Amino acid sequence: MLKITGGNKLYGDVDIPGAKNSVLPIMSACLMNDAEVLLRGVPHISDCDAMSKILGIMGCRVVHSGSDMLISTRNATLSSISPLLAGEMRSSVFMLGPMLMRFKQAKLARPGGCDIGRRPIDIHLAGLRDMNVVVREDEEYVYCDASNIKPAEIYLQFPSVGATENLMMVACSAVGRSVIRNCAKEPEIVDLAKFLNSLGASIKGAGGHTIVVEGKGKTFNRSIIYTPIADRIVAGTYALACAMTGGELNVKGVKSEFFSSVLSKISKNSCYIKYYNDRINIISHARPHALDYVVTAPYPGFPTDMQSQMIAYLAIADGDSVMVENMFETRYRQVPQLVLMGADIKVDGARAYVRGVDKLHGAKVVATDLRGGASLVLAGLVAEGDTYLDGTHFLDRGYDRIDQVLSSLGAQIFRL
């Protein structure tokens, strides 16, 4: 439970840790490497703990000390990933590629993750079948056999982030050239490709719509040190916190281009933003102005992972705004909680109609997913009175000690 007393402006510096959505596929990719990897800047979040558990089940040794994480896979052995483990997070699906590279076999319970939509894995499995991987499914598990894997030309039905990453990893185990088209272009995909290439892979085109992999078929064997990119969604969340509460923040360690679609929305109307190579200085000078439309889209469009937080920002804006969520079917589940705090929001399918109000008020609210939880924290920071937020385990999936970070910036927020 978090207790948040609204009304304080935020001032100071915030160092952004490694990106959850980069660290997780990179952790799974370590299974493709029969050696040690030292990752730097790894956040203490429960999704990383869950991935550590999965690697541990496979006989890997994972030591997370401070922001360093040492992963040794020398004694890795094939093990299926149970519904309990796989169900904890969507990223368990990233184990498919590495398991097929290392063991040529995989048995994975259907992945879990935030309840923001159906989240099928059909695009992942279609790409595996294109590469001649034998895929069998039942209610609970997916079974894959890559004994006769072949390179292939793959076209993704949708630029899925996870499918792009998984198939990029699988293609490393097929000897020859694979071409993956209609790829997602997120910075985390570029980061994973860079990590794999530093292990000895040959991947070109990551960050564009076509990725070419020259598969070598065998496990890598290099001990390296690697620093994943910083978390653009965490950075965007703190930038919005400043824009909503007022004050001035230096958001450090993250490339501003990775969340420019978010910054452009707030710099137009309520903040002065100065851009540096790997930090931004943000000064909030006015109440948020309404935005006619905010439409989520694959990168470099407005990120769906900032949609919930942006709704909290628009909830106190000086007019009417419309949010359009194109990526997931049910990503407005925190709206009723914001309405409990006095927000005026109506949801109709993919659209949320937000009428800005002068003030929100504190309330007892419950997070229902990771980014929905973040939006309730932002609302609590500006609400009159006390907000009690339950469901903080969702927040802890992707934000490293968010209460301590915000408290260090002047917010009145305590973990009860």
Report, as residue numbers or ranges, the catalytic residues: 114
Residues of this chain, 366-385, that bind ligand EPZ according to CB under 6 A: 370-371
Closest to ligand EPZ by CB, 24 or 203: 24
Per the CB < 8 A criterion, the answer to whether 42 and 24 are in contact is no
When binding is defined by CB under 6 A, the residue of 4, 16, 24, 168 that contacts ligand EPZ is: 24
Select the residue interacting with ligand EPZ from 4, 23, 55, 161 (CB under 6 A): 161
- The nearest distance, CB 355 to ligand EPZ, in angstroms, is 26
C-alpha R_g of the chain: 21
User: Which window, 18-26, 79-87, 210-218, 282-290, contacts ligand EPZ (CB under 6 A)?
Assistant: 18-26
Q: Name which position in 396, 398, 405, 413 contacts ligand EPZ (CB under 6 A).
A: 398
Q: Does 334 bind ligand EPZ (CB under 6 A)?
A: no
**Cβ neighbours of residue 228 under 8 Å, at least 6 residues apart?**
18, 19, 22, 23, 26, 39, 40, 41, 42, 191, 195
* Cβ 312 to ligand EPZ shortest distance, Å: 15
Residue 353 CB, nearest approach to ligand EPZ (Å) = 22
Comparing CB distances to ligand EPZ, the nearer of 3 and 119 is 119
Nearer to ligand EPZ, 283 or 297 (CB): 297
Determine the size of the site formed for ligand EPZ (CB under 6 A): 27
> Which residue in the set 101, 123, 240, 244 belongs to the binding site for ligand EPZ (CB under 6 A)?
123
137 phi/psi in degrees, rounded to 5: -130, 145
Does 327 sit near ligand EPZ (CB under 6 A)?
A: yes
Residues lying near ligand EPZ in the complex (CB under 6 A) = 20-21, 24, 90-91, 114, 117-124, 158, 160-163, 184, 304-305, 327-328, 370-371, 398
